[in-house]
Structures are given as structure tokens and as C-alpha cells.
Amino acid sequence: MGEVDPAFIQDLEHRPKLSIIEAEGIPLIDLSPLYAPDPKAIEGLVREIGNACKDWGFFQVINHGVPLDKREKIEIAARKFFAQPLEEKMKIRRDEKNVVGYNDTDHTKNVRDWKEVYDFLVEEPILVPASNKPGEKEETQWFNQWPESPPQFREACEEYAREVEKLALKLMGLIALSLGLPEDRFKSYFKDQTSVTRLNHYPLCPSPQLALGIGRHKDSGALTVLAQDEVGGLEVKRKTDGEWIRVKPTPNAYIINVADTIQVWSNDKYDSVEHRVVVNSEKERFSVAFFLNPALYTQVKPLEELTNKQNPAKYMPYSWERFITHRLLSNFKKLKAENIQIYHFSVLDNNGISAS
């Protein structure tokens, strides 16, 4: 990636501003009560999590229980992997058959992102329909594609994902409690999870005012656990006024965001919030995102306990299989139409995609 190809250039309204607003407001939550259970402390924590989900859709956590050495190991492995020549990385490139692996041509809302990524499934293989055509009968399996080098890359990735998965599931328990539900309310959805871990590399960009590392978007799963390095660049759209707020790097903290599936389960009590990544011309940036996704056979719909006559379901049920296959099979190329979104299943705003 040298000069800025027009494919990367954002429309004027989406270009990053030169002035940065750093996020004082994004809550920093101490999870230590989880590990020294005192019922009173957990109550306070649940309240904090609920408020953060409602007000921001984003928060950072410290004392989260993920060992620092696992994070350091995957960060080193990621740097070594991305530092290899392109032809080496292209050996494990993602395509319509192998939906996880390396890619350097992701588009978000039809503009190319200034980044390269490596994805792997947390549980594999996953048995899926061979295409996202309606009525597809043929099945195929999704597998991880591991690079030959650097050595210990696979081990670093797998160990990291196991630890972050525990944190993600604990957070789902706290979120359930914050919605007035039993702690294990969401547990069964993740028994056969389709979670993905993504290594992101944002190279130096000669024109950071024109392009974005990843354009504005919402994550589609349940929640995301993100490790960003010390460079910074993640921006969150503040709910109160729509301003883009920079999330300040906090050493060894994780950034958590509510994603689309929680928005639907909670019947819009918690929103999935837009975010994006600004790149820079002096420092390359790395991040690791763990997307906690439900099982393929999940029918995503507002939880019955959270809906009633006064507050009817705002979404029609939709199949996670359909949603994720659509996203994974299309996210590496320019689309003619907008990608699948939860509002396509909104009861009020259904513009034609049937919820099968």
C-alpha cells in the first residue's frame, strides 16, 4: 500500500477530523469484583455495566483476568506475521471457500479499508451451506488456514482466544444480570459458537485525512472484546451528539462493545454503536478483535422476557446462519447493494429482506 488509491478515499462527510476528542466519557470498569465474589460488589458492577451499555455501547475493562503474557504473545506473533512478504500471506488468503484467513482488500460500505487482517475461527470446523443462495442444499465446512510461519503463531492465537472467550462469556453473564435476567440466560447460544478472532494491521498511510483503517460500521455478533496497542485511532460515535470520540489506549485494558445481536436480544435497550479507525502517517497500528458470535442455528429475536404489550418486539426473528454467511461471503469484495443489517428485520423499517 503506497500512494492512496481512489478506492480508499472516503466521501467528504466521512473523512476524519484533524481535531481529536479524547474519550473521558467512555466508562473504565474494574472487573475485580468478579474474582473476589462479594454479592454487594457484583451488584455495583452489574449497574455499571448496564449504564455503560445503555449510555455508550462501549466501555473498557481492567482486572479482567486475561493473562498479560497471552496478549503479548499474540501481539508479537501478529507483528511477525504481517511483516512477511505479501506472497507469503497470500498463501492463506480468504476466499469464498475459505472464509477465514488473510485479506488485504476488505471494504466497509464500499470503500476500501486501509488495513490487512488475519481471521481465525475460535471453534472449527463449522458446517455451513455451500453458498448464501436461498434454498442452498449443499454443505461445506469452514476451517482455519494457519500460516507456516512465524513458528508458534497458531499456539499464540489459540491460547489467546481461549482466555478472551472466558472474559467474553463472563461479560455476557453480567449483561444478562443488568437486563434483569438470570446470569446464564445467554449461555446456550454460545455452546456451538461461531466466534472469530481477527488480527488487524493498519500500515502507515500517506494521506490519513482521506482514508480510514476501517470505515464506520457496527459489529454484528453479540459483543466484541478488543485489544488495541498504544498508538490509538479507534473512534466511537457518541450517542448524545453523534461526535466521533477517540478511545484512549489504556495499557492492558480491553475495549468492549455491544454488537447487533445484543441490540436485538435486548429489544433496543442496548444499542450497537458505530465505530471506525483513523490511521496515521507516522505509526502503524495493530489490534486484536474477538467477536463473540452465537451458534449457527440461533434464531435471533428480542427475548420474550423483555417484551410485552407495551413494549412489543421491534425485530422479526432472523437466522444467524443466514446473517453470518451473508457477511462472511461478501465482506471481501465491493457490493452492488448494502450489506445485510439488523434493521432489515425491524418491524417498523422492513425494507424487503424476509426473515427466514
Ligand X SMILES: O=C(O)CCC(=O)C(=O)O
Q: Positive or negative, the Cα torsion across 119, 120, 121, 122?
A: negative
Please give the Cα distance from 243 to 248 (Å, whole number): 15
Question: Which partner, ligand X, Fe ion, none, binds residue 277 by CB below 5 to 8 Å per kind?
Answer: ligand X
Contact call for residue 200 and ligand X (CB under 6 A): yes
Q: What mask, x for binding Fe ion by CB under 5 A, covers residues 207 to 236? A: ------------x-----------------
**Looking at residue 185, what DSSP letter applies?**
T
Closest contact distance (angstroms) between CB of 234 and ligand X is 4
Contact with ligand X (CB under 6 A) among 198, 201, 301, 344: 198
Question: Which partner, Fe ion, ligand X, none, binds residue 60 by CB below 5 to 8 Å per kind?
Answer: none
Q: DSSP for 37-96, please give it.
A: --HHHHHHHHHHHHHHHHHTSEEEEES----HHHHHHHHHHHHHHHTS-HHHHHTTB--S
Contact call for residue 234 and ligand X (CB under 6 A): yes
Question: Which partner, ligand X, Fe ion, none, binds residue 198 by CB below 5 to 8 Å per kind?
Answer: ligand X
Q: What mask, x for binding Fe ion by CB under 5 A, covers residues 163 to 202? A: ----------------------------------------
- Which of 89/185 has CB closer to ligand X? 89
- Which of 75/302 has CB closer to ligand X? 75
Nearest to 216 by CA among 245, 196, 240: 245
Please give the Cα distance from 211 to 206 (Å, whole number): 9
Strands 214-217 and 275-277: antiparallel
Nearest to 108 by CA among 331, 343, 340: 331
- Which of 202/318 has CB closer to ligand X? 202
Residues in region 275-304 near ligand X by CB under 6 A: 275, 277, 287, 289
- Grid cell for residue 230: 498504544
Closest contact distance (angstroms) between CB of 199 and Fe ion is 14
Contact call for residue 274 and ligand X (CB under 6 A): no
- Grid cell for residue 318: 432472523
How far, CA to CA in Å, does 223 sit from each of 143, 257, 292, 319, 355? 22, 6, 5, 17, 22
Please give the Cα distance from 31 to 65 (Å, whole number): 8
Nearest to 285 by CA among 345, 234, 320: 234
Closest contact distance (angstroms) between CB of 291 and Fe ion is 8
Closest contact distance (angstroms) between CB of 289 and ligand X is 4
Nearest-CB residue to ligand X? 287
Contact with ligand X (CB under 6 A) among 178, 195, 197, 228: 228
Give me the residues that bind ligand X (CB under 6 A), please.
Answer: 198, 200, 214, 219, 226, 228, 234, 275, 277, 287, 289
